[in-house]
Structure 1
Amino acid sequence: MGAYRDGKPNWCDSGFYPVLDRLISENGTLHSKLLGIVASQDIQFHSQSDDPVTTVMSTKLVTAPAGTTLAEANEVFRSSKKGKLPIVDKNGSLVSLLSRNDLMKNIHYPLASKVQPKQLICAAAVSTHDADKFRLQKLVDVALDLVVVDCSQGHSTYQISMIKYIKENFPQLDVIAGNIVTREQAAALIAAGADGLRIGMGSGSACITQEVMAVGRPRAAAVRSVSSFAARFGVPCIADGGVSNLGHIVKGLPLGASAVMMGGLLAGTTETPGDYFVSNEGQLVKTYRGMGSIAVMEDKSKVGDNAGTARYFSENDKVKVVQGVAGSAIDRGSINQFVPYFVAGVQYSLQNIGVRSLDALHDGVNHGQVRFEMRSASAMTENNVHGIYSYEKNIYSS
């Protein structure tokens, strides 16, 4: 999203996000006269990169007046075959912007948006440091719905204080707290006001907390113990860490989780952070760094000074105790290839189990209708491909 004035990008005063989406207004802000729109095709083959946007913008715009309903906007999209629809007031000043993609998402994914005004639900993460209270205020000012209090060990006075602060000052915000692995930890965070919990410590693909610190818990045991306790208070849980394939998602859900968190599984996708480079074997890979790695602890360029060490409250320590690794992940293309695969895979798994929904799955486990079983090493071998001379294993079809 971006607005321009005098040929240069103009950012909103908060400094967190650009104001508009390729639209050119007289003052570079909302509620100023709409002048034009710059689309990708307008600049893709334009040879003079120093030209002001006014030389390439389109001025023949299809607009709609303020007060236009979604149904009316959809009809304008249908008749005009445009992808963007600026909403203007009687003076021609920009009020808002509708997108064809937004309307389609509203139809196909109604639970991903607010009831009114049909905007996507927005979440962000903050640390437990006092400095992030200012950042949180700025996020709330731009319609934040959910905040994740990010900490490697969530059962701390710092996190409890932050949760209470958020609930006192922003009661409309849902708060996800963590990470934790025991019922006692869950009880403290729920009492402080947490609306959701992240479960997992030391089980992530780039985490070595259990090895180095001798602290942590197997993800399955932690998820089952904490989620069964949190369910008494109506608090949903996220299984965080150790998800390296579809089967791990399906294992995390019946244990009591309402959702799973994936890091390494999606690390090589186009949309994730990190730089691409070619490995010694000639393969395209992408950097992947654990938050507890020395690379993050010493990196002050990406997310602020001492961002990595601050997560572990060691920014002032002379000796850094590393709890994560930095490495690389093979390029996997766009996440758009993975999400449909995961959704369909979970649906097939629930079908094979014999339940219709996640709630039914949880009920089945709690009432003994869906059961877990210990497996021997031989059973694990039998469970995988065996007895075939050669085969190719593709996890999804593009």
Structure 2
Amino acid sequence: MSDENTTVIVGAGIAGVHAAESLRTEGYQGRVVLMDRDRQMPYDRPPLSKEWLTGKMDEASMLLRDPAIYEKLDIDLQLGVDVTDVDPVRKTIAAKDGSSYDWDKLLLATGSSLRTLSIAGDDLQGIFYLRRMADAIAIKQHMQHVNEVVIIGAGFIGAELASSLKQLGMDVTIVERSLYPMEAIVGRDISAFLLNLHDCHGVNVIFDDSVVQFNGESTVEEAVTAGGQRIPCRAVMIGVGATPNTVVSHPDLEADGGYAVNEFGETSIPDIFAAGDCTLWPYRGTPIRVEHWDHAVNHAKTVAQNILQPQSSPYTYIPYFWSDQHGSRFQYFGHAKQWTKTVLRGSLESHAFTNFYLDEHNRVQAAFIANQPKNALPVRRMIKQQQVIDPEALADESVALKKMKHKTRI
């Protein structure tokens, strides 16, 4: 290589791998170092709770890239490196083993870490968190001798696990502390719909309650709730959300709720960038954090462009995620902490609908799509254009979304 500049990427997950690859495909001629604390080749995490658990994917098919690709693209992949500190003056990073690395540009793609619970008896065997391949392997091995499973948390990870385990013929109970899980994201009606979906597929859902104790000799045998329910189980899965992994720290690196970045992926320290789950990034003027595959890919690619050509590509992504549960495909576009009204297109009973979240001016801020993939593109366009929509026409399935007429722009 003719250019001696070095870009170091910390984190070889979805964001890190796509950033490294994008640097090369966009023409970067310097050294690219991609490092991760995990010792396994970079792999895709979303299938862990679905295809991997049900046996539809093996370890080889989980890899993000064929190992030969890293050599072909001249990406220096260094695994088992646990980075902790950064020195922005000397432009070095330090790892737990005492090693140090120089950089000209640094990209933090450290992802997120699972929230954990402290419950009496949580040291028993058979209690799992699912984040890494090692977790998935341990779970799969344990499940060969298990029939009764308790899942703590009815978020998307817990819901996907429940669906996968039911496919494997297990007796599944979800314990959820709220009355309506994910209500702040999808609203009460959709939350109730998702709970009913589990019920229809034989999943026992206990809501407005929480597990306070695990019982058993060496392996978990029972989960006890605050409401006094005693649930027999031989395995427990805990999925209660995630927090940004901001372990790489410095006093001048703003990282309250995630590494704070601008629209170009720049942090509070020059030449240090961040991308993916670990970031707090500006969406229409409001800092948000998104923990989804699609965001990690697109954010990483955009930040890579800005590493190459400073402040050349603002990130204007419309947040998107999907979830597969009990044979249904759910998609969510946009971001709406608050909404004025919702409009349902289709019916909940049919399990094929699109629920729109509108602001006070009848502009679509977000949409939840159930088994209607054809609506994805027009929905994304509506959110991007932010034009005023007639709610009655939006609910009328005889009016094609792609032909939806907009009212006068505000």
Q: Shared topology, TM-score over 0.5?
A: no
Instruction: Name the TM-score, length of structure 1 as normaliser.
Output: 0.27
Instruction: Name the TM-score, length of structure 2 as normaliser.
Output: 0.26
| Greater fraction of residues in helix | 1
1 or 2 for the larger relative contact order (CA 8 Å, sep ≥6)? 2
From the CA coordinates, give the structure whose radius of gyration is larger: 1
